[in-house]
């Protein structure tokens, strides 16, 4: 694994790090890694950021596999206390159910490592903006 693929930011710029990672997801510039390949001797924050990157990538890949259309202005990510926070707007109940399945699957995968996913899923008619602490996809 190259250091470039797994680079992580300092604690002070969480939003900037998430924004940079989302850009790399969109451009497919990050290589494939998985949680089992992380070196447990690395500092806690670096591991948290790397796992968060894996979780975001897995979330987007799972949505794509399930033919869900991610609305760029309607999906946001944040990471706090070993939890990937997701803000998402959907246009139908069927999509909401699929996103909840993705959350369940990711929690099943990452809970054993002390991480989790928590989603706030809203209907598009609610028209609420993504909170400022989330970085939009």
Supply the pLDDT for residue 7. 39
In a domain, 77, yes or no: yes
In a domain, 1, yes or no: no
In a domain, 2, yes or no: no
Segment holding 51, helix H or strand E: helix 44-65
In a domain, 4, yes or no: no
Count of domains forming the chain: 1
In a domain, 61, yes or no: yes
| 89-118 pLDDT per residue, tens | 988 889 899 999 999 999 999 999 899 999
In a domain, 64, yes or no: yes
| 19-59 pLDDT per residue, tens | 777 777 777 655 555 565 555 545 677 888 889 999 999 99
Structural domain boundaries, residue 47? 11-136
In a domain, 132, yes or no: yes
Instruction: Answer whether 72's CB lies under 8 Å from 136's CB.
Output: yes
What is the Cα–Cα distance from 101 to 62, expressed in whole angstroms? 10
């Amino acid at each position: 694994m190259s250091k470039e693929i797994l680079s992580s930011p300092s604690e002070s710029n969480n939003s900037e790090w998430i924004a940079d990672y989302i850009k790399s997801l969109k451009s497919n510039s990050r290589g494939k890694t998985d949680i089992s390949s992380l070196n447990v001797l690395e500092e806690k924050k670096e591991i948290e950021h790397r796992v968060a990157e894996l979780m975001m990538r897995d979330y987007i890949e799972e949505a794509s596999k399930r033919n869900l259309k991610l609305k760029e202005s309607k999906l946001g990510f944040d990471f706090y206390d070993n939890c990937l926070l997701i803000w998402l707007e959907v246009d139908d109940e069927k999509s909401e159910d699929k996103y909840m399945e993705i959350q369940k699957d990711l929690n099943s995968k990452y809970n054993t490592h002390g991480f989790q996913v928590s989603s706030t899923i809203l209907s598009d008619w609610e028209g609420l903006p993504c909170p400022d602490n989330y970085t939009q996809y």
